[in-house]
């Protein structure tokens, strides 16, 4: 597609439920990144995909967080047993190569855990 | 490890004032540097980037940034701000050979008419 597409744009969920966030990168972009932006804070790196492998998962905050990617296409970020501190905007970005090319960001998914 | 510091958390200016937002990074090798902007209700957009060559980089909407290697800095400047520049600005660094961008905590700019 023309840009990075994320869905849903907003998600309200009850504490303890699982959620799945989707990212559709720009066609041909081999690298895909997930970041988290909590209210009033900067962007926190979560995970990076090169193709469908994840060389860097160092930012995933706990084992409740996981992500997968199908080929060089769609990625899903799953949060199990959501907690209130998971409330944030989850941003996806894609890039032609590694980070040095710069990213194109999606508009994010605003997750609210109540 | 890479890190980025943005010292100005919130900047308030009147239209036509000059702007300089600070960005310092920590990395021992060659870097690529970026400024991203997030307008209210919109997604992050690339404002400008430095890979190599002329350390003074010009971006969109009259913004520029200067890479000063000796100071590990990449400050963003604009001679005369407009109300439409109200946004959050993020500096980011990518160390050569590393995979991802590391972002600063952002600077919120408010411009009053």
Tell me how far apart the alpha carbons of residues B91 and B4 are, in angstroms, rounded to a whole number.
7
Residues 94-113 of A with CB under 8 A from B: 98-100, 102-108
Question: Is the Cβ of A34 closer than 8 Å to some Cβ of chain B?
Answer: no
CA distance A33 to A25: 10
The 10 Å Cβ neighbour count of residue A103 is 26
A25 shares contact with chain B (CB less than 8 Å): no
Give yes or no for residue A40 having a pLDDT over 90: no
The alpha carbon dihedral of B104, A100, A110, A61 has a sign of negative
pLDDT confidence of residue B43: 87
Report CA Rg, chain A: 13
Model confidence at A98: pLDDT above 70: no
**In this structure, what are the phi and psi dihedrals at residue B85, rounded to the nearest 5 degrees?**
-85, -5
Given a cut of 70, is residue B73 above it in pLDDT?
yes
Contacting B residues, span 16-55, partner chain A, CB-CB under 8 Å: 32, 34, 36, 42-46, 49, 51
B21: containing domain: 3-112
pLDDT at residue A1 greater than cutoff 60: no
Q: Does A91 touch chain B (CB under 8 A)?
A: yes
How many domains does the structure of chain B reveal? 1
Count of Cβ atoms closer than 10 Å to residue A63 Cβ: 7
% chain B with pLDDT above 90: 80
- DSSP for B57-91? EE-GGG-EEEEEGGGTEEEEEESS--GGG-EEEEE
Q: What is the CATH number of the domain that holds A30?
A: 2.60.40.10
pLDDT digits (tens, 9 = 90+) for B6-63: 989 999 999 999 999 999 999 888 899 999 999 998 889 999 999 889 999 999 999 9
Residue B36 belongs to domain with CATH number: 2.60.40.10
Domain that holds residue A35: 5-113
How many residue pairs from chains A and B have C-beta atoms closer than 8 A? 57
Paired sense of beta strands A109-113 and A10-13, if any: parallel
Number of domains in chain A: 1
Higher pLDDT, A13 or A2: A13
Whether pLDDT at B98 is above 80: no
Q: What is the pLDDT of residues A41-70, one digit of tens each?
A: 889 999 999 998 998 999 999 999 999 998
How high is the pLDDT of residue B112? 96
Q: Outline where DSSP puts E strands in chain A.
A: 5-7, 10-13, 19-24, 31-37, 43-50, 53-56, 65-69, 75-79, 88-95, 104-105, 109-113
What local confidence, expressed as pLDDT, does residue A91 receive? 97
């Amino acid at each position: 597609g023309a840009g990075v597409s994320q869905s849903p744009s907003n998600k309200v969920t009850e504490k303890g439920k699982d959620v799945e966030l989707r990212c559709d990168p720009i066609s041909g972009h081999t690298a895909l990144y997930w970041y988290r932006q909590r209210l009033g804070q900067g962007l926190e790196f979560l995970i990076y995909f090169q193709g469908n492998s994840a060389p860097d998962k160092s930012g995933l905050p706990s084992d409740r967080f996981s992500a997968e990617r199908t080929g060089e296409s769609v990625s899903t970020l799953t949060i199990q047993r959501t907690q209130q501190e998971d409330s944030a905007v989850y941003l996806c970005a894609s890039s032609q190569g590694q980070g040095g090319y710069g990213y194109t960001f999606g508009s994010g998914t605003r997750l609210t855990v109540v | 490890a890479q890190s980025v510091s943005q010292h100005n958390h919130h900047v308030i200016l009147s239209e036509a004032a000059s702007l300089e937002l600070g960005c310092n990074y920590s990395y021992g090798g060659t870097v690529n540097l970026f400024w991203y902007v997030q307008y209210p209700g919109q997604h992050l957009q690339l404002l400008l980037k430095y890979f190599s060559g002329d350390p003074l980089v010009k971006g969109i909407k009259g913004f520029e940034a200067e890479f000063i290697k000796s100071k590990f800095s990449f400050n963003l400047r604009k001679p005369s701000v407009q109300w439409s520049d109200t946004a959050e600005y993020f500096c980011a660094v990518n160390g050569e050979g590393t995979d991802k961008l590391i972002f600063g905590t952002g600077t919120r700019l408010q411009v009053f008419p």
